[in-house]
Amino acid sequence: PVAPPVLFFPDPGMPCRAVMNGQQCRRGAKCTYSHQKTSLVKFLDELYAARKTLDVCVFTITCNEIAEAIIAAKKRGVKVRVITDDEQAKCTGSDVYQIASEGIETRTDSDPITHMHHKFAIIDKKTLLNGSFNWTRQAVLGNRENVIIMRNPALCDVFTKEFNAQWKLFEKN
């Protein structure tokens, strides 16, 4: 088999908004953001490609660029569901309340000791993003991390079962 695409972090910098939007940056040397197609840009491309469903199951979400992509999916009519860790959702910088305030259904576990430690997303039932990568600025810019992009509907089914089991388990939290 061929290797699926893999994104490694850390990135050299946060991406310029022009590059994120697939345009040329006009600020030239004044712009201090990265103009490369970084791992974060490729990661965001997957979220912006969602058309029907986006199931996010990630321990920590604090990266604003990623939260914006989740909210943008909701706004264009994608059915979005988010599961995250209860303790992490309360942390400084967490984007979970903002995501919920946009009308996106969001659930958490309810245990301060054990963790909802997954870091996966299922896009349109056909693409799975999975690896060590929490959706945080520290993970983008500081840590050694990986995300494998797997275009495999059968594997998406396996992870959707885990997602749905937690979705039910965390209904009352």
Q: Binding of a second copy at residue 11 (CB under 8 A)?
A: no
Which residues between 56 and 95 bind a second copy (CB under 8 A)? 59
Q: Please, what is the minimum distance in Å from the beta carbon of residue 91 to a second copy?
A: 16
- CA 149-150-155 angle, to 5 degrees, is 145
β-sheet bridge partners, residue 9: 145
Closest contact distance (angstroms) between CB of 170 and a second copy is 10
Q: Which helix (H) or strand (E) holds 9?
A: strand 6-9
> Is residue 135 at the binding interface for a second copy, with CB under 8 A as the rule?
no
Task: Choose, by CB under 8 A, the member of 26, 30, 76, 144 that binds a second copy.
Answer: 144
Q: With CB under 8 A as the contact rule, which of the stretches 40-48, 71-79, 86-94, 118-126 interacts with a second copy?
A: 118-126
Nearest to 111 by CA among 136, 137, 88, 94: 88
Residue 166 CA, chain-centre distance (Å), reads: 18
Indicate which single residue of 94, 106, 130, 160 sits in contact with a second copy (rule: CB under 8 A).
Answer: 130
Residue 119 and residue 135 in contact, taking contact as beta carbons nearer than 8 Å: yes
CB 83 within 8 A of CB 108: yes
Separation of alpha carbons 78 and 123, rounded Å: 10
Under rule CB under 8 A, residue 145 binds a second copy: yes
- What residues are labeled active site? 117, 119, 124
> What residues line the site for a second copy (CB under 8 A)?
1-4, 6, 8, 10, 59, 109, 111, 113-120, 130-134, 138-139, 142-146, 148, 152, 154-155, 157-159, 162, 166
